[in-house]
Structure 1
Amino acid sequence: MGIDLGTSSVKTIIIDIDGNVKAMAQEEYSIEIPYEGYAEQRPEIWWKATVNTIKEALAKSGIKSSEIKGIGLSGQMHGMVLIDKNLKVIRPAIIWCDQRSKSEVDAIYKKIGRDKLGRLTLNPVATGFQISSLLWVKYNEYQNYNNTYKVLLPKDYIRLRLTNEIGTDITDASSTLAFDTSNRKWSEYIIKALELDIDKYPGCYNPFDLAGVVTREASQETGLACGTPVVFGGGDQPMQAVGNGVIYPGIVSSTIGTGGQVFTVIDKPLYDDELRTHTFCNAIPGTWNIMGASLCSGLSLRWLRDNILNGLDYHIIDEMASNILPGSEGLIFLPYLTGERTPHMDPYAKGIFFGLSLKHTNAHMIRAVLEGVTFSLRDSLEIFKQMGIKMDRLVASGGGARSSLWLQIQADVFGVEVYRSKATEHACMGAAIMAGVGTGVYASVQEACEHIVKYHQEPVLPNSKNMEIYNYYYGIYKEIYPRNKDLFKRIGEYCC
């Protein structure tokens, strides 16, 4: 069984030894925004949704709960769940897209130094990262900080409810910015320099290591068999990569979900002097992942659908956009609705429809969003090239991979063949693979992927004419942010 605790929903799948999905269940929830720039979710809502999907998946599969060999977890990265000594949640979770900790980011760089911190973590600090959020709580809600027994990542809370055991894994821990990524351990230097308490951090393990077993209480709630093994699992991006078969250098994944990520495997830690990329520990020992991230990819399309398109079905939205020519007749979209990470690392960045005129319709806006999101991911691929990272194959995943139009746009904007795995819920699949490895069904992650992950034989091919069009508009796209950077900050400091 694989459980993926996402930003907008939780999904649970049950697979057999060959990777065939026997059942899948999903339940949505929302992000709470109590103030401008805040983003929170309630862990109890996560748990209730998880319980419901486990029950539904078991019912759909027709499988006895005792036949489940093991359970793995995947989850949204960077977020913060605070629990007290009674293992109760202290406050709502602050999640990855939260922007409140701008001053804490500045304080972190001031105390440690940008280069020193970058070389230890192999990451830039950003709002929404756990260490920034934890500092915000210490500075603004000291009683909550003082009452904190352990700081967890989102999926670790679900595992706690399943097993009553506390812990995290190296892939997720390396996304907190309190982690020595090269040496795969918590950084005492960083934690002490920021006057945080290292004993608030949980033990850290491999994603396929056994964390515990389903407790009697969790069994009664979920229908799972008491004593079912549960492995630690990992962050959603590393798990998605595993579920996509992105386990060797040269294979790159392009994921368009709530956010967007370009992701690959490297066999040694790489440091970007400009701190535009993220490097995390990989699920496979002795390897790492490097990632470029865009905060508001699928979320940009959802915003357009909910606020301008009156909640139209995504199939209709896709059809509308397909009737518009590549380049959206000169309409360009910057998908910075919640600030941006790669390559700008700017919480003040804002969204823009550039070039809007009377000839443009809702359909033009839809296509411009699809293209603008893809341009933002191309920014990451360009950085990978600069760093000497090879790309032999690109694999698309996430909601964007379900749209044939968006797949074609990716092929045309990136200028490469785009492959898709036959599985759809890749993060769930990666989590289930971890359970398979941890319980001895497979000898290694590599063996599991070679046995389970299968691709559609025919890739989506780039269109040379469309590539030329997109290269032109991408050049303009790259100029829009630097020309408006100061204005973004002026707006942000005045009204937000």
Structure 2
Amino acid sequence: MADDAARYLLGIDVGNTVIKAVLFDLEGRQVGSHAIDGQSTRPEPGHVERDLEELWRNASEAFRRCVADAGIEPGQIVAAGCAGHGNGLYLLDGDDRPLVGIQSLDTRAAALAEELAAEHGAALHAATLQEPWPSQTPVLLSWMRRHRPEVLEQAGTLVMCKDYITFKLTGRKVSDISDMSGAGLLRMPECGYDDELLALYGLQGLGHLLPDLIDPTDVAGTVTAEAAAATGLAEGMPVVGGLFDVIASALGSGVVEAGATSIIAGTWSVNQYVSSEPVIDRDLLMVSAFGPDRFMIMDNSATSASHLEWYVREFVERGGHHDDPFGFCHRRLAEVEPRLDDPYFHPFLYGSRLGAEHRAGFNGVAGWHGEGHLIRAVFEGVVFEHRRHVERLRAAGAVIDHATLSGGGARSEVWAQMLADCLGVPISVADGEETGALGAALSAGVGVGVFAGYEEAVSGMTRIRREFEPDPDMWAHYDHRYSTSRDLAEALQGFWSSQYRDARRENNGEEEAK
């Protein structure tokens, strides 16, 4: 074990904005980290993009500072793995330079997703176990073919966001089955590319854009001399294929056995469980594969903790007058007692699984309500969307009597207790906040033989910090408000649809003008 103590695994987590480099010892203890927040741009309504060159600059700096923070030699890192947000659209040109960087919050292709679902939804679900949705990779690629053909003509390779980092480190353009199945680009459960599948999306003739396909624990390549110079990492260090970040976060929080449930409260509301076989149900968002007889069954939407970040950015940090904005929110929230007539908040800044036309908003605000009530409404609205997704998983056959929480929302004891109370099940919170990076790191450990498999890696590198038991006295409160919130959303549907039609009318006029 003396040698093990001097060996480390590097986990890289590429989110929609932040990139994190985190070093772990072989028992899962974090020994160094560095995170850098990148910039998203919104050039048009519904468009959310990023600069891949900035992403690589940020990654290079994060690697250097992470190793310096740990105080180790780069040669002590035995392998690295990368996790990244799924979907969106990232394209390199024919010379492997960044061409397109569209994030998974983008909704420009909402109308096209509806069109594809109406024409080929059943066939696409039969092939991929998911139906078209706005920021799904093939839907965005189809949108590019229709609206930006001159850009698509320059494209050389499609990668996922994490794959761009792997490419810059190793020089190899690959992707793994978890990301590509999560993107609806693989025929399931075989996990292979398919020309007939591409044709259903209107992507016939574009198979040459797809990168080589590998398993998450396969070694994609080793750090090149050029990458070593840019990052400070050791030349020749192995880098594995990596993982779709929701699966990485589940593994990093200790969820690996069949039937185990993972809830991730981050940019997206992720609700998933491990299965030894795929589940065929058109009410669920997707099924992603991450190894032989390893599937993650999911129902997700962009309706989670990012809404608190939005509230903090727009209302709390305004003018920079709060040093601890999230602490401020928790203090204000603690000042109010939950009541049945509290305000409601629908967390639909980026649409919902029920429709891209859904919009966020506060309702039921009275003169006696203060900021604490509004903050509580945000927390509660996020929890209600998690519950709606969990109910879909249960309707599809999942037995959920316990769940493990990870993501940014897991830092909040309030959110963990709310989830336990609203779902009526115990909620575990993993020890360590960087579960996505940890999942990527342990996959690297499996890939280079440090661990015999996922089970051994998860057992050796993850631990639970705290359990939150449901309060039976709060169940009736949340059950009533959950039902009322759903009724309110149904009542607002006509208004949201009208707004959506107006936005599409304006956007279509802009497209025609171009």
Q: TM-score, normalising length from structure 2?
A: 0.92
- Map of 2:3 onto structure 1: none
Write the distance in 1 (CA, Å) between the matches of 2:432 and 2:420.
20
What is the deviation of 1:118? 1.0
Residue in 1 aligned with 2:287?
279
1:226-375 matches, within 5 Å, as 226-273=235-282, 275-281=283-289, 283-311=290-318, 312=322, 313-327=325-339, 329-341=341-353, 344=354, 346-375=355-384
Per-residue deviation, 1:122 = 0.8
User: 2:121 aligned with 1:114, yes or no?
Assistant: yes
Partner in structure 2 of residue 60 of structure 1: 69
Query: What are the residue-to-residue correspondences of 1:29-48 with 2, within 5 Å?
Result: 29-48=38-57
Please state if 1:463 is matched with 2:471.
Answer: yes
Residues 1:336 and 1:280: Cα distance change in structure 2 (over 3 Å): same
Question: Counterpart of 1:472?
Answer: 480
- Measured in 2, the distance between the counterparts of 1:63 and 1:195 equals 47
In the other structure, the counterpart of 2:161 is 154
Distance 2:503 2:113 in 1: 20
- Residues 436-447 of structure 1 correspond to what in structure 2 (within 5 A)? 436-447=445-456
Q: 1:250 to 1:323 in 2, by over 3 A?
A: farther
Contact 2:343–2:374 under 8 Å retained in 1: yes
Work out which of the residue numbers 127, 142, 145 in structure 2 matches 1:138: 145
Q: CA–CA distance in 2 between the matches of 1:83 and 1:190?
A: 22
Count of matched residue positions in the alignment of Structure 1 and Structure 2: 488
CA root-mean-square deviation: 1.4
Which shows bigger deviation, 443-452 or 188-197? 188-197
Q: Is the 8 A contact 1:12 1:26 kept in 2?
A: yes
Structure 1 partner of 2:106:
98
CA displacement at 1:360 relative to structure 2 = 1.3
Q: CA deviation at 1:181?
A: 2.6
Counterpart of 1:129 in structure 2 is 136
What does residue 49 of structure 1 align with?
Answer: 58
Q: CA deviation at 1:284?
A: 3.7
Change (3 A) 1:417 1:468: same
Structure 1 residue matching 2:104: 3-state secondary structure: coil
What is the rounded CA distance, in whole Å, between the counterparts of 2:223 and 2:372 in structure 1? 49
Q: Which amino acid aligns with 1:318?
A: H
Equivalent-residue separation in structure 2 for 1:329 and 1:319 (angstroms): 21
Shift in Å, 1:104 = 2.0
Aligned-pair identity (%): 26
Could you list the structure 1 runs, at least 4 aligned residues long, displaced by more than 6 angstroms after superposition: none
State the 1:328 CA deviation: 7.0
User: Mean alpha-carbon deviation: is it higher for 128-137 or for 194-203?
Assistant: 194-203
Q: TM-score, normalised by structure 1?
A: 0.96
Say which of 161, 168, 174 aligns to 2:175. 168
Please list every run of 5 or more consecutive structure 1 residues that lacks an aligned counterpart in the other structure.
none
Structure 2 CA distance for partners of 1:357 and 1:200, relative to 1, 3 Å: same
**Structure 2 SS opposite 1:412:** helix
Note if contact 1:292-1:377 (Cα within 8 Å) is conserved in structure 2.
no
AA at the equivalent of 2:122: D
Q: Which amino acid aligns with 1:332?
A: Y
Q: Cα distance, 1:327 vs. partner?
A: 4.6
CA contact (8 A) 2:303 2:385 kept: no
Asked if the contact 1:284–1:445 (Cα under 8 Å) also holds between the matched residues in 2, the reply is no
Q: Report the Cα distance in structure 1 between the residues aligned to 2:146 and 2:394, rounded to whole angstroms.
A: 40
The SS at the match of 1:4 is strand
Determine the structure 2 residue equivalent to 1:177. 184
Structure 1 residue 250: deviation in Å? 2.5
Shift of 1:409: 0.9
